[in-house]
Amino acid sequence: MPLPSVRRPAVLIVSACLREAREQRKVGLRRLADQLGVSPARLSGLELATHIPRPPDVAHILGFLGIGGNEHKQLIAMAEHVYDENLITQNTTQTFSLMWTYEQISNRVVDWAPYRLPDLLRLQQPFEGTPDANGGWQCHGELEPLERSVRQQAMHDGTRRYVFLIGEEAVRTARDAVGSVEQIQHLRAAASLHHVSVRIVPMAAMGPNPPPAFTLFEDRPAAVAVALKHAHCTAYLTERPLLDEYLDTAKALQRQALSESATADALNDSAWDRAS
């Protein structure tokens, strides 16, 4: 059986969880590698997803870290899917981890949003949480506001290019919502960044059945993964024919979209500022 791509979703989740579990227990990488009888390079590869964390590897590491119960069962269950090219998850933490990781390994992100503004372009909502004993956060409620804040900060650092293709209906909905003036100003500010492209796709260009929303992660010229976010789950696809299909869809939407300058003119129209 050929080795799976290190970009497959279950590989990234398991590797990140192994690294987090070791760090939370304040066990050094070299110390754990000695206990496991493997080289530090091998253990580092398992934690960084450059080596495949198969179930026996995961069970061995969890045993030495003293991890049992549900955490052990969940991680072993996820390790059973490291050869799967696609993954559907309902876990909010896993969704954030994968979104974040795929963005970090991409040099371009294309976000198509036909009816609702993309997460990265929406105004931040207050995050309710308190610091935990490990230097992280204990979330009070959903993780989404914190996720959006972290990803928005990364978007502003200029490390990768972002292309936002926004359906005309999504912009109209944003205009009619409470706080629309601030939201449109937020859109304008994002569009002014040199590494961010914001383009409106007219409804007429989309036809009666526009493609569903998706986020395409690219390590150009190839696509790395695509995320399809639904109300109660997120699907991550890395199967090559599917990636090629979404890459073609993204190119078609860009051909149909208004230019950046035309989009800027639409967002700068004084009619937006009169909405409240």
| Domain of residue 42, CATH code | 1.10.260.40
Q: Looking at the structure, do residues 160 and 174 belong to the same domain, yes or no? A: yes
Q: Looking at the structure, do residues 94 and 216 belong to the same domain, yes or no? A: yes
Task: Look at residue 57 in the predicted model and tell me its pLDDT.
Answer: 94
Q: Looking at the structure, do residues 72 and 209 belong to the same domain, yes or no? A: no
Q: Looking at the structure, do residues 126 and 159 belong to the same domain, yes or no? A: yes
Q: Looking at the structure, do residues 216 and 123 belong to the same domain, yes or no? A: yes
Taking the C-alpha atoms of residue 96 and residue 104, their distance in angstroms, rounded to an integer, is 12
SS3 state of residue 108: strand
pTM: 0.84
Q: CA–CA distance from 80 to each of 56, 60, 149, 200, 269 (Å)?
A: 10, 14, 32, 41, 53
Q: Average pLDDT over the chain, rounded to whole? A: 86
The DSSP symbol for 128 reads -
Place of tokens 């090629």: 244
pLDDT of residue 128 exceeding 50: no
Q: Are 61 and 18 in contact (CB under 8 A)?
A: yes
Taking the C-alpha atoms of residue 42 and residue 151, their distance in angstroms, rounded to an integer, is 30
Domain ends where: 55, 84, 113?
Answer: 84
* Mean pLDDT, residues 85-113 taken together: 92
Q: Looking at the structure, do residues 136 and 255 belong to the same domain, yes or no? A: yes
Q: Looking at the structure, do residues 145 and 200 belong to the same domain, yes or no? A: yes
From the list 20, 167, 172, 197, the residue with the least C-alpha distance to 101 is 20
Residue 76, domain extent: 9-84
Taking the C-alpha atoms of residue 151 and residue 89, their distance in angstroms, rounded to an integer, is 19
pLDDT of residue 30 exceeding 90: yes
Domain ends where: 36, 56, 84?
Answer: 84
pLDDT tens track for 64-74:
999 999 999 99
From the list 159, 165, 167, 166, the residue with the least C-alpha distance to 108 is 159
**Residue 3 included in any domain:** no
Q: Looking at the structure, do residues 41 and 142 belong to the same domain, yes or no? A: no
Q: Which residues does residue 235 pair with via DSSP β-bridges, in sequence order? A: 88, 228
